[in-house]
Amino acid sequence: MEHEHLIPIRPGFGGFDEPYERANVVFMGVPLDVTSSYRSGYRFAPAKIREASANLETYLTSAGLDVFEQLNISDVGDIVITPTDLKATGERITRLVKRVSGEGKMPILLGGEHTLTYFALQAFDDISVIQLDAHRDLRDEYMGDKLCHATVMRRVLEHLPPERLLQLGIRSCSKEEAEFAQETAVTTYTSEQVIGDVQGVVAAVKKLAGDSRVYLTIDLDVLDPAFAPGVATPEPGGLSTVELLRLIRELGKLNVEAFDVVELVPPHDDGTAAFAAAKIIYELLAAIASSVK
């Protein structure tokens, strides 16, 4: 796939790379690193996730399959980011996601700050969003920004009915966000609810999502800092890696149209969060492959 706003990266995710034309799953890096309010360095995340992915087995014992034997996977490289023009960068993200999805392939975005999810979702007309995150990201404005990592889901809800947003793993928000979520009846499961009853939460999520197309956004801070220290805004009290993988295996059975993994900050990571990100992606791909075998 040639495009003026893509920087080819070789090797791609997993170290393998099918030609774009044959692919049914397409990775794209989105090194967006513009609106950080605490830790910055998101721009290094796609490369670190790819590096970790090349050092994990592609055979998933949980699913009993090799994802690269089941899925044709291509990596088109990194989207060019213009740090001084978030709008132009966002339009670029939307355009590329729309093209990939429109050609019958599943877009997977390697972030990058969470703001990218807003732009990716502009490519879809009829979709539900499942957000795995420590934070609600529902502020109307943060530090003068209407669109940033802390307001991204509030902006999403300007285009999406609140019943189409499900938030899992939440354990931190402002009073404003709590009141907004209550007023709009955004479905939320805290990290403690998820940890205490993964199967019950999964059953409720499946009932709410139904057969609708799903966009899954995974903020790595849904994990406890013990399991993912190198994230933008770590929040104690999160899921363990095993708990998240159990959840991911079930969510992958939904009608997943696209997904992203965001908020890794490599300068603050010892590799733990990067490898967790790669493992999450492999498990999700295996679940998706199992559901269509």
Distance in Å from the first CA to the final CA of the chain: 27
Q: Which tokens is 242 given?
A: 């095993």
pLDDT at 208: 85
Asked if the model's pLDDT at residue 84 lies above 70, the reply is: yes
Give the least confident one: 37-41, 64-68, 118-122, 129-133: 37-41
Asked if the model's pLDDT at residue 125 lies above 60, the reply is: yes
In this prediction the pTM is 0.95
CA distance 119 to 25: 19
Give the pLDDT confidence of 87-115 residue by residue, as tens digits.
Answer: 999 999 999 999 999 999 999 999 999 99
Contact status, residue 208 vs residue 253, Cβ threshold 8 Å: no
Contact status, residue 75 vs residue 98, Cβ threshold 8 Å: no
Task: State the number of CA atoms in the 13 A half-sphere of 20 facing the CB.
Answer: 14
Contact status, residue 136 vs residue 181, Cβ threshold 8 Å: yes
More confident residue, 144 or 93: 93
The owner of tokens 């490289």 is 77
Asked if the model's pLDDT at residue 293 lies above 60, the reply is: no
pLDDT at 276: 98
CA distance 25 to 101: 10
Q: Does the bond joining 144 to the residue before it have cis omega, within 30 degrees of 0?
A: no
Task: Give whole-number Cα distances, 76 to 10, 11, 47, 170, in Å.
Answer: 9, 10, 13, 32
Asked if the model's pLDDT at residue 273 lies above 60, the reply is: yes
Give the pLDDT confidence of 206-246 residue by residue, as tens digits.
Answer: 888 888 999 999 999 999 999 999 999 999 999 999 999 99
CA distance 113 to 264: 8
Domain range summary for the chain, segments of one domain joined by +: 6-292
Give the pLDDT confidence of 171-217 residue by residue, as tens digits.
Answer: 999 999 999 999 999 999 999 999 999 989 999 898 888 889 999 99
CA distance 219 to 132: 6
Give the pLDDT confidence of 2-27 residue by residue, as tens digits.
Answer: 566 888 888 899 998 899 999 999 99
pLDDT at 288: 94
Band (pLDDT 50/70/90 cuts) for residue 36 is: confident
Contacts of 26 (CB under 8 A, 6+ apart): 1, 20, 73, 74, 75, 76, 100, 105, 106, 107, 108
Q: What CATH topology corresponds to 6-292? A: Arginase; Chain A (3.40.800)
